[in-house]
């Protein structure tokens, strides 16, 4: 997998005010805001009531979102806008409500989308990134303002209906090639957390993420370099889930590690405190973080746990090889241990999807 330059990562939550109390919604917005989240998604597709009722319901929510320095984008459908008396050439409804943009789950014609991006309120128009329909290219050719044209993938409540990774990658690259901001969803680990249509079996964009913790799914998306924003689709994410996303550093890949009980303090220091970077020359068996061997050249690293290594193992070279002693390596392929490597931990199987993105000069680290 080719290395992708890191970027500043935006994080978002989803709220569904029609399904809970206003106090719960506002408290959740505050919890995300204090952790540095920047976006809020909500959905008008499932909302009942007329235009005035929706404004009354959403305006306090929009005000709290803005007070937290976050942006609100509302998911809409042409038929919903028609019911509310909103036309593509008059988006004042969204301005009145306090939204920063609208997401078109189903598109208008390309010329209409282009004109919508020139609205006088500075509203962003977000297209559905999960469709292979050439709407993005057509809208840009029709004069859309790329500064106000974003792309956001779908989420999929029904098990087995989420996107495949190759398709997601293809459609995300298409948007990024045009310098269009791309968002994607991860779901809460608790599938009973609400969505716009009640509970489901999680609300991920990628089917492979359906049963993963959102922190891992988000670290995977960040590792690809193909998203600008990662949104939690369910409400309400737990405090731990919010913390896990807030801790993501897009400049490096962090993987959870299961430590061996015999690890020394020095080895744990190498694992967690040393800044790891993959060497530029790659082996089919190991990825090497070499500089620790300079720092720990004169530090004893006695042999222990020198079993044969398997994919996902983390090993540190021991005293039996003084030249490379202290070097940390990520094992890519099962290999014989000649007594030179201490097996100090293992990356769990579900976390090993991140190893695929460890390329030359990529920074990485570990989470206990």
The pLDDT tens digits for 181-216 are 999 999 999 888 999 886 667 899 999 999 999 999
Q: What is the pLDDT of residue 6?
A: 57
Q: What is the pLDDT of residue 197?
A: 81
Indicate if 240 and 269 belong to the same structural domain: no
Instruction: Determine the structural domain holding residue 338 and report its residue range.
Output: 256-367
Residue 229 included in any domain: yes
Indicate if 279 and 172 belong to the same structural domain: no
Q: What's the CA gap between 99 and 126, in Å, rounded?
A: 13
Q: What is the pLDDT of residue 1?
A: 42
For 226, other C-beta atoms within 10 Å of its C-beta total 18
Q: What is the pLDDT of residue 46?
A: 79
Residues of the chain with pLDDT under 50: 1-3
Indicate if 211 and 303 belong to the same structural domain: no
Residue 4 included in any domain: no
Indicate if 211 and 309 belong to the same structural domain: no
Residue 2 included in any domain: no
- CATH number for the domain spanning 41: value is 3.20.20.70
Last residue of one domain, picked from the residues 250, 273, 305: 250
Indicate if 312 and 182 belong to the same structural domain: no
Q: What is the pLDDT of residue 34?
A: 98
- CATH number for the domain spanning 303: value is 2.40.100.10
Indicate if 81 and 188 belong to the same structural domain: yes
Adjacency order of strands within the sheet including 276-277: 252-256, 363-367, 276-277
Q: Which two structure tokens, joined as six digits, stand for 69?
A: 């320095």
Q: Where are the beta strands (DSSP E) in 77-194?
A: 101-104, 124-128, 149-152, 181-186
Last residue of one domain, picked from the residues 227, 250, 273: 250
Residue 184 included in any domain: yes
Q: What's the CA gap between 237 and 11, in Å, rounded?
A: 13
Indicate if 65 and 210 belong to the same structural domain: yes
H or E element that contains 365: strand 363-367
Cα distances (angstroms) measured from residue 152 to each of 125, 244, 264, 292: 10, 22, 46, 41
Q: What's the CA gap between 41 and 212, in Å, rounded?
A: 21
* Residue 218 buriedness (CB in 10 A; 0-12 / 13-18 / 19+): buried
Indicate if 280 and 310 belong to the same structural domain: yes
Q: What's the CA gap between 197 and 13, in Å, rounded?
A: 16
Q: What is the pLDDT of residue 106?
A: 87
Tens-digit pLDDT profile for residues 269-321: 999 999 999 999 999 999 999 999 999 999 999 999 999 999 999 999 999 99
Last residue of one domain, picked from the residues 187, 221, 250: 250
Residue 149 included in any domain: yes
Q: What is the pLDDT of residue 199?
A: 60
Residue 3 included in any domain: no
Residue 1 included in any domain: no
Q: What's the CA gap between 203 and 209, in Å, rounded?
A: 9
Indicate if 45 and 191 belong to the same structural domain: yes
Indicate if 200 and 267 belong to the same structural domain: no
Indicate if 207 and 287 belong to the same structural domain: no
Residue 72 included in any domain: yes
Nearest to 56 by CA among 17, 92, 28: 17
Total number of domains in the chain: 2
Indicate if 24 and 87 belong to the same structural domain: yes
What is this structure's pTM? 0.95
For 54, other C-beta atoms within 10 Å of its C-beta total 19
């Amino acid at each position: 997998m080719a290395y992708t330059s890191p970027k500043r990562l935006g994080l978002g939550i989803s709220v569904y005010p029609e399904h809970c109390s206003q106090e719960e919604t506002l408290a959740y917005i505050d919890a995300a805001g204090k952790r540095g989240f920047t976006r809020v998604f909500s959905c008008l597709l499932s909302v009942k009531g007329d235009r005035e009722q929706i404004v009354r319901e959403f305006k306090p929510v929009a005000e709290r979102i803005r007070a937290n320095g976050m942006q609100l984008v509302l998911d809409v459908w042409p038929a919903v806008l028609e019911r509310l008396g909103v036309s593509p050439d008059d988006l004042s409804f969204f301005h009145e409500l306090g939204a920063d943009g609208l997401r078109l789950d189903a598109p208008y014609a390309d010329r209409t989308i282009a004109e919508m991006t020139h609205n006088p309120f500075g509203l962003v128009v977000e297209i559905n990134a999960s469709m292979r329909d050439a709407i993005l290219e057509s809208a840009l050719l029709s004069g859309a303002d790329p500064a106000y044209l974003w792309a956001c993938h779908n989420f999929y409540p029904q098990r087995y209906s989420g996107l495949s990774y190759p398709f997601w990658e293809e459609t995300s690259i298409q948007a990024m090639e045009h310098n269009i901001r791309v968002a994607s969803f991860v779901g809460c680990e608790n599938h009973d957390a609400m969505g716009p249509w009640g509970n489901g079996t999680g609300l991920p964009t990628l089917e492979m993420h359906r049963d993963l913790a959102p922190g891992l799914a988000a670290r995977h998306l960040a590792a690809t370099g193909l998203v600008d924003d990662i949104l939690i689709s369910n409400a309400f994410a737990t405090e731990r889930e919010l913390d896990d996303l807030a801790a993501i550093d897009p400049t490096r890949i962090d993987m959870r590690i299961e430590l061996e009980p015999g690890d020394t303090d020095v080895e744990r220091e190498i694992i967690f405190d040393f800044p790891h970077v993959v060497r530029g020359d790659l082996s089919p068996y190991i990825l090497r973080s070499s500089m620790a061997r300079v720092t720990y050249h004169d530090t004893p690293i006695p042999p222990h746990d020198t079993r044969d290594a398997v994919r996902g193992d983390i090993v540190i070279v021991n005293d039996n090889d003084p030249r490379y002693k202290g070097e940390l390596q990520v094992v890519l392929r099962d290999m014989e241990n000649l007594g030179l490597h201490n097996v100090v931990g293992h990356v769990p199987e579900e976390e090993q999807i991140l190893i695929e993105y460890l390329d030359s000069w990529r920074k990485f680290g570990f989470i206990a």
